[in-house]
Structures are given as structure tokens and as C-alpha cells.
Amino acid sequence: MKRYLSRQVLPVFLAIAGIISSTSISHSQSDLPCYLEDSNGNVIDLGHLCGSGNSTPSVIQVPIKRRVSGIPVVDVQFNGNSRFEMLFDTGASGIAITPPMAQVLNVAPEGVVITSTAGGKVEVPRGRVNSVAVGGIEVTNPEVTINQHLDIGLLGQGFFGVYDVTIKENVIELRYR
């Protein structure tokens, strides 16, 4: 009887143990909006199949040119052809340009807005540009403010608000949420 039980119980025990030990739940931590994870854990970008056209790389790196008072300065392209240095300002809510930038970009004021600055609230003109691009990311038809109190433009949340931002020593990393 003991021999019969061990022949029946041992395979059942091993089967249950095998199920328990081989069962796992895997959650991918991919930054890609459309992907497949293979059996080895490799992430395969499927952006071209999901209707997103050109898929965005999981991490976009933007070189830091220099810093002003600790704030990174990056190159920003406007309307596909004009390039300006701007502060990459995580505390700014929008995109603020200087009057000389507005002149080069032919930004026509469409009204005024009140903005909060370190110096208090100020009234500034607002307008639109065709596009703003940094590191392969492009925003079309964004609103900009024209701030006569700035020496250099500010690139704020109006541009990179859908990204998680990591500021490193020489590069800014953007990851799509």
C-alpha cells in the first residue's frame, strides 16, 4: 500500500510543484506605446503596426549646451528652419520667447495673457508658431508667449508635458508616459 501511494502521490506533488514554480506574472516596463515582449523578455517596438507611424524611441536624449543659473540650455528648432537656444525650464508652464525671436519667427500677437514669474505677475502678448522641435520631438501649432522681460526663451511644460524628464549632467532624457 505504501508503494502504491508513493507512486500516485509523488507524480501529483511534482505536477503541482511544477505548476507553482513555473507560474509567473510578467509586467513589462517598456516605455514604448506599442510593443511586444518575447519569451526572453526582449521588447520589440511595434509602433509601425499600431497606427502611430514613426514610433518614438523609448528614451529621447537632448544634449545640454550649457547652463544658466543651473538651468539647462538646449537648441530648439522653430517652424522647421530657425534655431534658438532656450532654457529647458521644468517650472515653466508654457513656451516663452523673446521679442527678437518673435520678430525672426513672424509671430503676430493674438492677444495677451497674465503670467506668473519670479518677479510677480506680468501681462505679455501671446501668439502661435507652426512648430517647435527638440531631439526629434515636434509639437505643431503651439501657443507661445512673447516676454520682453526675458533674455533667453523658456521651453516649458507646453512642450514636454507628456514626458517624464530626467536631467543629467550633459543630457536631458525624455520618456513618453
- What single-letter amino acid sits at 133? A
Amino acid 13: pLDDT: 41
Region for residue 29 given its phi and psi (left: phi exceeds 0; alpha: psi -120 to 50; beta: otherwise): alpha
What's the rounded mean pLDDT across residues 47-71?
78
Q: If pLDDT is split at 50, 70 and 90, which confidence band does 90 have?
A: very high
Q: Kindly list the structural domains of the chain, giving each domain's residue range(s) and its CATH number in brackets, ordered by start.
A: 25-58 (no CATH), 60-176 (2.40.70.10)
Amino acid 17: pLDDT: 42
**Highest averaged pLDDT of the listed ranges 4-13, 54-63, 87-96:** 87-96
CA 158 to chain centre: 11
Q: Could you tell me if 73 and 127 are in contact, meaning their C-beta atoms sit under 8 angstroms apart?
A: no
**What's the pTM value of the predicted model, to 2 decimals?**
0.68
Q: Which is more confidently placed, 127 or 32? A: 127
Residue 110 has pLDDT above 90, yes or no: yes
The dihedrals phi and psi of 138, each to the nearest 5 degrees, come to -130, 135
Q: If pLDDT is split at 50, 70 and 90, which confidence band does 8 have?
A: low
In our burial notation (b when 16+ CB lie closer than 10 A, e otherwise), range 52-67 reads: eeebbbbebebebeee
Residue 164 has pLDDT above 90, yes or no: yes
Amino acid 115: pLDDT: 87
| Sign of the C-alpha dihedral computed for residues 155, 163, 50 and 55 taken in this order | positive
Radius of gyration of the chain (CA): 26
